Amino acid sequence: MPVTEKDLAEDAPWKKIQQNTFTRWINEHLKCVNKRIVDLQLDLGDGLRLIALLEVLSQKNMYRKYHSRPNFRQMKLENVSVALEFLERENIKLVSIDSKAIVDGNLKLILGLVWTLILHYSISMPMWEGEDEEAESKTPKQRLLGWIQHKVPDLPINNFSQDWRNGKALGALVDSCAPGLCPDWETWDPVKPVENATEAMQLADEWLGIPQVIAPEEIIDPSVDEQSVMTYLSQFPKAKLKPGAPLKPKLNPKKARAYGPGIEPTGNQVLRPAVFTVDTFSAGQGQVTVYLDHPDGTREELKAEPNEGKKTYGVTYVPKVMGPHKVTVLFAGQQIPKSPFEVNVDKAMGDASKVTAKGPGIELVGNVANKPTYFDIYTAGAGTGDVTAMIRDPQSRQNSVEVMMEDKGDSVY
């Protein structure tokens, strides 16, 4: 049987999932009036539970009386007509459905009616936190998807089908609504979708008040329809965290990063401070530990100084020798991305501007021809480099004056 025919069959898996989802959605709303349905196809047929559902959703009473004990078909038709007229007066557009279709159990049209109620009362009407003014001009599907994308910017969620099939998006959404409730969703194994969805949905049910109107194994089913997924997800914008929830600090070393010249492969020099920053803003709460491995194999622990806000840390070290060094950065005991960093330290280029000279040999007056004189050169703080002295005579010759240089130590020549 071709896929299209299979999907259109009365027993198509997506239809069964949708029927289950819509039934649970109705029962969640009927709880407060002590009513429930078992068979969506038949249990709305007398009009009473449909009327009760509409009064719960709208927080209004019917506009006219109805039969409280509809024992005859005509009474049932009249009750359903009361409900449909109520929807028309509420400006809820219905297409191709009348009281006869509901009384006679036309499942396709009944599912369409329930979906219309979900769109209007669960997605279109409520005002959601974080929405902009443009939300009013969007379709219900665009509006719900936009809200979710705003809550979970780290995942590419673009639909209500395949993007939810490994369960990780559910965990991310739960944790975004209550940071710390489901902090480990990024480490979940995508090949265990039922386990992932079950954990996320149980947490949402228990601590966010989001009923499981769809089962975990249904929401990850490849045949699930978008309407069923939207029905469940439309409950998240109004989620409220209950007191006593087991919130855990979100810990994700993969979100920490280090940057700065001190961890670049090239450009660092002997005796020159090498500086870099460790950023833990998105990684949660944890300790930053930094090690420097020297070319001779010895290891030194570097101090990570917290900056204001304690989400970034400054690290400085001064290489003593040339050669390959290694910088290891740990967050909460785990390597951050790209750690360890390979750093090659070069010979420092001396800074001539920090070299000074002093002594009678460079004074304007007081020196006599054919008589030795001297002066000292001070290189402290100027880095490493060769020191040379060149003396020119009045004719600009460089070889007429003998120069002798002695290293006195302590950067003095």
Which pLDDT does position 95 carry in this prediction? 84
CA dist list (Å): 162 to 4, 189, 222: 19, 16, 7
Q: Where are the domains of the chain?
A: 11-124, 140-238, 253-345, 349-412
pLDDT at 408 over 90: no
The per-residue pLDDT for 130 is 63
Position with higher pLDDT, 136 vs 59: 59
Kindly state which CATH superfamily the domain 253-345 is placed in. Answer: Immunoglobulins (2.60.40.10)
Given a contact cutoff of 8 angstroms between Cβ atoms, the answer to whether 7 and 200 are in contact is no
Taking the C-alpha atoms of residue 355 and residue 347, their distance in angstroms, rounded to an integer, is: 18
**Res. 2: pLDDT tops 50:** no
Q: Is the peptide bond before 340 cis (omega within 30 degrees of 0)?
A: yes
pLDDT computed for residue 255 by the predictor: 85
Mean per-residue pLDDT of the chain: 90
Give me the DSSP letters along 174-219: HHHHSTTSSTTGGGS-TT-HHHHHHHHHHHHHHHH----SS-HHHH
Residue 5: its pLDDT value, please? 47
State pLDDT tens for residues 312-323: 999 999 999 999
CATH 1.10.418.10 assigned to 11-124: yes
Q: What is the pLDDT of residue 89?
A: 94
What is residue 3's predicted lDDT score, i.e. its pLDDT?
A: 47
Which pLDDT score, from 0 to 100, does residue 53 have?
98
Residue 338, number of CB atoms within 10 A of its CB: 12
Residue 412 token pair? 């003095």
pLDDT at 410: 84
Among the ranges given (33-47, 362-376, 385-399), the one the predictor scored with the smallest mean pLDDT: 385-399
| Least confident window among 51-55, 157-161, 384-388 | 384-388
DSSP calls for 77-106: HHHHHHHHHHHHHTT----S--HHHHHTT-
- Identify the bridge partners of residue 317 per DSSP, sorted by sequence position: 274
| Residue 329, pLDDT score | 96
| Predicted pLDDT of residue 9 | 63
β-pair type (341-346, 323-331): antiparallel
pLDDT of residue 251: 74
305, two tokens: 């100084």
Q: Is the per-residue pLDDT at 47 higher than 50?
A: yes
Q: What are phi and psi of 91, to 5 degrees?
A: 60, 35
Which DSSP symbol is given to 373? -
Q: Tens digits of per-residue pLDDT, 168-179?
A: 999 999 999 999
Q: Which of 174, 154, 178, 156 is nearest to 254 (CA)?
A: 154
3-state SS class at 259: strand
pLDDT of residue 281: 85
Whether the predicted pLDDT of 413 surpasses 90: no
Contact 404, 377 (CB under 8 A): no
Candidates 142, 135, 138, 175; CA nearest to 159 is 142
Residue 330 has pLDDT above 80, yes or no: yes
Domain 140-238, architecture per CATH:
Orthogonal Bundle (1.10)
Question: Cα(155)–Cα(111) distance, rounded to whole angstroms?
Answer: 31
Beta bridge partners of 305: 314
pLDDT band, residue 131 (cuts 50/70/90): low
pLDDT tens digits for range 60-119: 999 999 999 999 999 999 999 999 999 999 999 988 899 999 999 999 999 999 999 999
Give the model's confidence band at 264: pLDDT under 50 very low, under 70 low, under 90 confident, else very high.
Answer: very high
User: pLDDT value at position 77?
Assistant: 96
Phi, psi of 259 (to 5 degrees): -155, 155
> Locate tokens 């100027």: which residue?
382
% the chain with pLDDT above 90: 66
- Distance (Å, whole) CA 65 – CA 79: 9
- Fold identical between 140-238 and 253-345? no
- Can you give the pLDDT at residue 295? 95
Here the tokens at position 247 are 């919130």
What confidence tens digit (pLDDT) does each residue in 286-314 have? 889 999 999 999 999 999 999 887 789 99
Least confident stretch, 126-130, 252-256, 374-378: 126-130
Q: Residue 390: its pLDDT value, please?
A: 84
> What is the separation of C-alpha 214 from the centre of its chain, rounded to a whole number of angstroms?
25
**CB-CB contact of 21 with 232 (8 Å):** yes
Q: Rg (Cα) of the chain, in Å, rounded?
A: 38
- As a three-state string, the secondary structure of 158-173 is CCCCHHHCCCHHHHHH
